[in-house]
Amino acid sequence: MAATLRKSLKTIEDYKSTNPHYTDLLDILGEILILREQYRKNMTSSIFAVDEKLISQKMEGGLPLIDFTGNKYDLLRPKEYFYSLISIAEKRMPEESKNIVKIINDKQFDWEKMVRASFDYTEEEPIVENLKPGSEAEDQLDLIDLFLEESLRPELESVAEKYTEVVDKSHWTEGYCPICGKEPKIGEIRNGEEGERYLFCHQCGFKWYFHRIKCPFCSNEEQHSLAYFAVEGEERYRVDVCNKCRRYIKMVDLANTKEEVDLDVEDIATLHLDMIAFDEGYN
């Protein structure tokens, strides 16, 4: 893990040179990766237990191993981690973090409720009440969402690592993560000319194979309504889009290399692709 961390931090420094407008976010991510490593070193076991007798049934039924919305877990460690993450923002982005601290100190802010809501895609009401679209406070929620997601990452990551082999053998075919159920934001294309597509879960760090010509969000397989775009000069990256559900996912093309990349870092370094996708009407 230490070697992987060093490589990720080196990549961050490289991207700061080529993408200076992302420097603040990349600096924050670098500190997050260091803090995540420290958290993992202090863990003896994950708070998320898996009933191994039910694994095959869950995989066959399209159910992730961790049922976060249906079970109660002791979230004290992740909550403490969350506030450690907030301290990173206070150090790296002091002006912006004032609004973040104001939001989380508000009596309406319920950390556990927000974490659970992030796993519930039927949730439509804003967790922070009276939050007006386009307001300054709303602009800070993207960073808060990053910290909410990260607060569970070390615990879920250990589960993902433990059950990688058994999940891989299950031939999971869903577009959401088989470990925690979260939807992917980015993935990679591997294995030469065949170009197999793998999706990546930011919530637990798991990576799984997914059919190349299929939308991970609505399961659309109609080739005429599936497309992709890339930015000239950045052919390493592409954005797969579905014109049926209007969703998108970023992909890193590694088909002709054995290079290993940190998709957490790649996601930050390709935020301009998110902006282009939003401008084109995808979400």
170-204 per-position pLDDT tens digit = 999 999 999 999 999 999 999 876 789 999 999 99
64 and 144 in a single domain? The answer is yes
Query: Rounded to the nearest 5°, which phi and psi values hold at 170?
Result: -80, -10
Instruction: Tell me, yes or no, whether 155 lies in a domain.
Output: yes
Domain end position, chosen among 98, 133, 165? 165
Domain range for 73:
43-165
Q: Which helix (H) or strand (E) holds 241?
A: strand 237-242
Neighbours of 152 (CB within 10 A): 27
Instruction: Tell me, yes or no, whether 138 lies in a domain.
Output: yes
Q: What pTM, to 2 d.p., does this model score?
A: 0.91
> Residue 210, SS3?
strand
Query: Rounded to the nearest 5°, which phi and psi values hold at 253?
Result: -85, 110
pLDDT, mean of residues 218-230:
97
97 and 196 in a single domain? The answer is no
190 and 260 in a single domain? The answer is yes
Whole-number Å distance between alpha carbons of 158 and 45: 8
200 and 269 in a single domain? The answer is yes
Number of independent structural domains in the chain? 2
Check pLDDT > 80 for residue 207: yes
Whole-number Å distance between alpha carbons of 197 and 203: 19
96-155 pLDDT tens trace = 788 888 888 888 889 999 898 888 866 554 445 444 444 455 556 778 889 999 999 999
Domain end position, chosen among 165, 196, 219? 165
Within 8 A by CB and 6+ apart from 273, the residues are 231, 237, 239, 250
Instruction: Tell me, yes or no, whether 70 lies in a domain.
Output: yes
Instruction: Tell me, yes or no, whether 31 lies in a domain.
Output: no
